[in-house]
Structure 1
């Protein structure tokens, strides 16, 4: 049994306090990042240090694949740390701490969002990183498929993978996997955590072994590996609430 946690933006409290931001991404998609997807730097540091000091094992994707494919036992205290969407604040604030603590994590990247060249840190927007910047972070992160141009939504209940034609979805995830940076080409993160009944079937047909939602809960041997649960860690949770997730 293990819990997967997911972060999006890691920012200082004073930046979070200014409220919701527009995203700034390479393919021009327009959206605003919801406030529950922010976590502050102090929270994040306390949470990561608590996991480490409490003896948690930080899972890799290969370990999770082995668990589901072969029944290989996981350490009793196991956690899988993930990030979505490749925002600048992760490189600025989260990456150095993870590197310092020796914590490995997974990054789900929508490759169409990623810029070719770096930009100066933009506190006023949720700006995506560049490919050169992401490449610098491979000592901490393994990168997996989060679509190419399909990280789009209608409201809070429907993402593009749910309204697009199946063949277009397949074409898009294949485009994402063409990028060398995406080394875990059989692992998928559902954009916004959203999916429908057809989504895992399509991924299975395309050879995907793991796919992650944003449904709450622990993952067990009985969990569908193409509908793995992840807990969104928001600023309001704090350290005490974070600890309760693992109780």
Structure 2
């Protein structure tokens, strides 16, 4: 009898605990891109009880090559818990499977820089209770998305207040035959200057000291490791503050599942610091 009562009370405690536990909302939204004249999907993860009178910071999380808008939530389901814990909205948009998040000079129907940094941001600020300023926006991503996050943040420092990259393809110049990039940029042999300019390393002249906090992660076994190390060295030479972590790991979800948690904590601390200053 005592065992039955004990089991009953344990079950009751568990039920009450679950009843009062908060869970984030996960929505799939469709956004219209005027620049590309098409509908584009995104996953929006938001705290369960969104207060319309409160402004929530937003993190834009970009997928890698061959991925889509569902890749992050499928690969890291813990994003739901982190959105709730940090009281932030997380957006994982579709960047086509190989766009590299450029406004392509070769394909007029591929304008993902405009979509991510203007059209999607405007949609989120209109439809959700966001902190609609650069102080309330972060951007990061993995692989192709890591390149995209830094490329967009460097070029749109009025839109994003903090940025990161995970295993990012931050120097595209050694890979002229890879990942369909020449479809969007043209042949490297024909447009060498373009390939330099459309790389993250080609955008460093836009940075100034202490204007954009940056966090970079890359595994030492990753094929992009040398590119990330080069970026770290260039930022250090230019006296641009940044956080760079090179730890054991490869180009896989096991690495990104851990890495994204550090990025979201970094962003959360940034958002909190801006609140304190205000």
TM-score by length of 2: 0.33
Structure with the higher helix share, 1 or 2: 2
TM-score by length of 1: 0.36
